[in-house]
Amino acid sequence: MMFRNHLIVATAIYAVATNIGVSFFDWPLQWELVWRYGLVLLGCSLVDIDYPSSTVGKRVKWISWPIYVLFGHRGITHSAFMVAIIFGAAWAFEFRALYWLGLGWVLHLVGDYLTDSGIPLMWPSKRRYRFPVYASTNSLSEPIMVGIITIGSIIFVIFI
């Protein structure tokens, strides 16, 4: 359920970030929006590569297990350090695709920031940060929070 919720929130925020409500219905379909969206979803998914039981971790256990053993779940991959590496590489190598991957990464972190577990934003510090109003992971409050973000994004895209 968490994986799906991360993708839903990433989709909603991507729609706002790209003002897709206006450009999506301009035909022909703008393929740039499609590949950027794919990178956002990829970035959003890769954050949990540090957990071998995650959707991504199950598919690349040979990468996931070493990261999990060295850093644990919600360790380095859930920190500002990793975000800085992604955006730093995008800037240093002038590789624009990494900006969209990085946006997805950040959106995943925002989603985890809204949960009771929080994120170790300033890794290697063990302190976890979370939003004052948060949802308990895998509880009824989680889909409610996702729904609020999604509905808010739809309203924003349509009316603003």
Share of the chain above pLDDT 90, in %: 52
Average confidence (pLDDT) over 55-61: 94
Q: Check whether 136 has a pLDDT greater than 90.
A: no
Answer yes or no: are the C-beta atoms of 141 and 135 closer than 8 Å: yes
pLDDT band at 109 (very low <50, low <70, confident <90, very high): very high
Domains contained in the chain, number = 1
DSSP letters, the chain, are -HHHHHHHHHHHHHHHHTTHHHHTTSSSP-HHHHHHHHHHHHHHHHGGGG-TTSHHHHH-HHHHHHHHHHH-TTSGGGSHHHHHHHHHHHHHTT-THHHHHHHHHHHHHHHHHTBTT-B-TTTTS---B--SS-B-TTSTHHHHHHHHHHHHHHHHHHH-
pLDDT at 25 over 90: no
> Domain limits at 77?
2-159
pLDDT tens for residues 113-127?
A: 988 889 999 999 999
pTM across the whole model:
0.85
Q: Give mean pLDDT, residues 44-71.
A: 95
